[in-house]
Amino acid sequence: MLKVAFEGCCHGELDKFYAEVTKEGGADLVLIAGDFQSLRNKGDLDSLQVPPKYRRMGDFSDYYSGKKKAPYLTLVVGGNHEASNYLSELFYGGWLAPNIYYLGKAGSVVYKGLRISGISGIYKEHNFRKGHFEKPPYNPGTIRSVYHVRDYEVNKIALLSNKPDIMLSHDWPNNIEKKGDLKTLKKIKPYFTQEIKENSLGSPPLEFLLHRLKPRYWLAAHLHVHFEVKFQHQAEISTSQLVGIGEAAVAPSSAENLPRNLNSDEISLDFDEPEPCLEEATDTVSIVTEANKSNENPNQTTAHVKKDAETIPDVASVKQAALVGGKLCDKGKYNNETLPLF
């Protein structure tokens, strides 16, 4: 049984985050949903789009140089506050530093039978249909457009023949807020109200992927508020419906679920360990919550987003990142219970 720790927006505060994970008993795997800020040196600050008061190095350079090593295997997607020059060098994914793996603009890996897929960046409609034309040195426009999601990445992830156990993104899927406690969300974030009314909160392409891929868990960040949803999946979306992503809600088709077959070309992060049979691994890795254990419904996704401070935070804990008994711990404690996942 894997123990997974999840962080929303990291903002370069790796030391504090890893320290808190260790304090809470450690983890087999760490997932970070963007704004990671992989700054290797001061030159990378020129590729970081943040307000001037937040232009600081953070901890990553020590991990990049080898002065420190991540104590837990860490998987990362990009957000909208990144050293985009470095991430662009690893467009298809790769090791940012020892034990820290970037999933690329869009990518999928397998670790100990757990399939984790991810997509980087945020959605902006005016750039969605464009190619990636940005290159360093960035100007005031391209330093922002470089992290905008393109249809190429969405279509690539949509063609996965094996459903992810976990989908990792920076943006929220569009309309997901309507599946949870919307009243409380508006109370905590009143300035979301207009976006919710206009149906512009979150990413329409990610909503498509939610319907298409039917992951067991979806983890996102970006909006700096904790929000948990149990989402009931409908019938599969066919590949013919890939056209028009992001322009309108995609109606699910009656196509059958895609098979979970072994893929010899998949990237495995198991290193020297033999890769387990995925069908067997599905039975041995517990990722159902108490809320759905009784019916063990495979067509349900639990979507989580991380609660951060309103400004770039001190990541002092993995508060509300640990899922115990189907509930997020308000105090970030495991309460001496068996931790199935998160």
Q: Whose CA is closest to 321, among 80, 116, 15, 27?
A: 27
Pairing mode, strands 106-111 and 267-268: parallel
| 145, two tokens | 């457009």
In this prediction, residues 283-289 reach a mean pLDDT of 27
Q: How far apart are the C-alpha atoms of 189 and 275, rounded to whole Å?
A: 44
pLDDT at 305: 52
Element holding 301 (H helix, E strand): strand 300-305
Over residues 307-341, the pLDDT tens digits come to 443 333 333 333 333 322 222 223 233 233 332 33
Return the ∠ at Cα 303 (arms to 266 and 311), rounded to 5°: 105
In degrees rounded to 5, what are phi and psi of residue 297?
-75, 115
Q: Do 64 and 40 contact (CB within 8 A), yes or no? A: yes
Q: Binning pLDDT at 50, 70 and 90, where does residue 297 land?
A: low
Contact, 255 vs 237, CB < 8 A? yes
pLDDT 10s digits, 44-102: 999 999 999 899 999 999 999 999 999 999 999 999 999 999 999 999 999 999 999 99
DSSP string, 35-74: ------SGGGGGGB-S-GGG----SHHHHHHTSS--SS-E
pLDDT on residue 244: 37
Residue 4, SS3 per DSSP:
strand
Tokens 């992830």 appear where? Answer: 157
In angstroms, what CA-CA distances link 247 with 45, 129, 221?
A: 35, 11, 23
Question: What does residue 209 show for φ and ψ, rounded to 5 degrees?
Answer: -65, -35
pLDDT digits (tens, 9 = 90+) for 161-215: 888 999 999 999 998 988 888 888 889 888 888 998 998 899 999 999 999 999 9
CA–CA distance, 270 with 290 (Å, rounded to integer): 28
CB 63 within 8 A of CB 18: no
Nearest by Cα to 103 from 153, 44, 45: 153
114, two tokens: 């757990």
For residues 134 and 293, the model is more confident at 134
pLDDT beyond 50 at 12 = yes
Residue range 123-170, pLDDT digits in tens: 999 999 999 999 999 999 999 999 999 999 999 999 998 889 999 999
Instruction: Reduce the DSSP state of residue 178 to 3 states and report it.
Output: helix
Q: pLDDT tens across 228-285, in order?
A: 888 888 765 544 443 333 332 233 333 333 344 556 667 888 865 444 333 333 322 2
Question: What band does 13 get if pLDDT is binned at 50, 70 and 90?
Answer: very high
In this prediction the pTM is 0.75
